[in-house]
Amino acid sequence: MTVLVTGAEGVLGSSLTRELVENGFTVRAMLDPQSDAAELDGLPYERVPGDILDPESTLNALQGMQAVFHCERAGDFWPPRADRIDTINLGGTRNLLVAMSRAGAETLVHVGSAFSFGFGTPDEPGTEETPYMADRFHLPCFDSMRRAQELVQIYTDEGKIRGIIVNPTFVLWPYCTLPGSVESLFSYVSKAPRRYPSGGTNVVGAGDVARAMVKVLGRGRPGRCYILGGHNVRYEELFEKIASALGVPPATKQWPDKTLIARGLLGAFSGKLTGRKPPVTREVAQVLATCMCYDPARAISELDLPVTPLDTIVEDACRLFLDKCR
């Protein structure tokens, strides 16, 4: 089968491309002409120039494709209200859906976010049925991904495409480059901080996500969403595991939520004055002070989502971080 991957140079896109190639798929990657796509070095794939915001180049990339994996998305937290994020996540998805209708491409595997569903605690995690809650953070990266997901579902309900949605949680991976949010986290922990946030998250390995995404083509149900998650973990435990893998002392005290949010307000103010990305903003502080845990049971049952041990996921990603720092 011949498939198109958008955002193939990103964390999920490159991991998926590697998994598709290993499973015998013919892969076409739509890439910005200026991208060096270092994450794809050594992989046999067809490169076509294109921009998800350009309808004609998107239509050209779709010619002859049997399925599309839409991995391109903007997950930036800074600036917190950048129009560009909404344009890429929602506008880009709309362009792709229109182009698929024109090109006759039927199947779309859309990569959204687990944060498009309500979250919970490790004891009572969120599921695909939990109502959306992340609008409380006022972050366009969350809101626009939720709206893009709804658009895919509308096109699927109307019979225009066969759309299946996958919703990864917080992804760690061991290849080439680390996404900005992960690198910032590891950099913070590598400095042996004294404090950790009060919240928590769900951590999943990029390889596990990619393997489940490949199986979506044969097992996924149109219009259905699948949370691709791994391990629900408090930041106290996650920071401890990262510190151990980096060989530094772990944080020993918890940030009071109000203090962390106050630091976020100061960071945002400084960022506006200097134009530089602050280490933490009010919105990010609020996220870090929230337990955002999920249940991947549906994906495990229907897609055979593998779950790599958390220690292995963290150690592999930390090894990449240390190699980059040397």
Residue 24 placed within a domain: yes
Looking at residue 280, what is its pLDDT? Answer: 82
Asked if residue 80 is part of any domain, the answer here is yes
What is the model's pLDDT at position 179?
53
Structure tokens at 18: 């590697």
How many domains, the chain?
Answer: 1
The bridge status of strand 200-205 relative to strand 170-172 is parallel
189: in domain: no
Question: Cα separation of 209 and 196, whole Å?
Answer: 27
Q: CATH number of the domain that 135 lies in? A: 3.40.50.720
Give the pairing of strands 200-205 and 231-234.
Answer: antiparallel
Domain that holds residue 125: 2-171+204-230+294-307
Helix axes 206-219, 11-22, angle to 10 degrees: 60
pLDDT of residue 84: 83
- Tell me the pairing of strands 162-168 and 67-70: unpaired
In a domain, residue 253? The reply is no
Q: How far apart (Å, rounded) are the C-alpha atoms in residues 210 and 231?
A: 16
- Any domain includes 92: yes
Going from the C-alpha of 322 to that of each of 40, 241, 243, the distances in angstroms are 21, 15, 12
Distance CA 163, CA 100 (A): 11
pLDDT of 5 reads 97
Cβ atoms of 142 and 134 closer than 8 Å: yes
What pLDDT score was predicted for residue 149? 97
- Domain assignment present for residue 284? The answer is no
Mean pLDDT per 10-residue interval, the chain, length 326 residues: 93 93 96 86 94 94 95 75 83 96 95 97 97 93 94 96 97 64 81 90 96 95 97 96 94 94 87 79 91 98 96 92 73
**How far, in Å, CA of 227 to CA of 216, rounded?**
12
For residue 164, being part of any structural domain is answered with: yes
Please tell me the predicted confidence (pLDDT) of residue 77.
66
- pLDDT of the residue at 175: 57
Q: Do 85 and 142 contact (CB within 8 A), yes or no?
A: no
Whole-number pLDDT of residue 78? 64
Q: Identity (one letter) of the amino acid at 180? A: G
Contacts of 144 (CB under 8 A, 6+ apart): 74, 85, 86, 88, 89, 90
- Residue 279 in any domain: the answer is no
pTM, rounded to two decimals: 0.93
176: left (phi over 0), alpha (psi -120 to 50) or beta: left
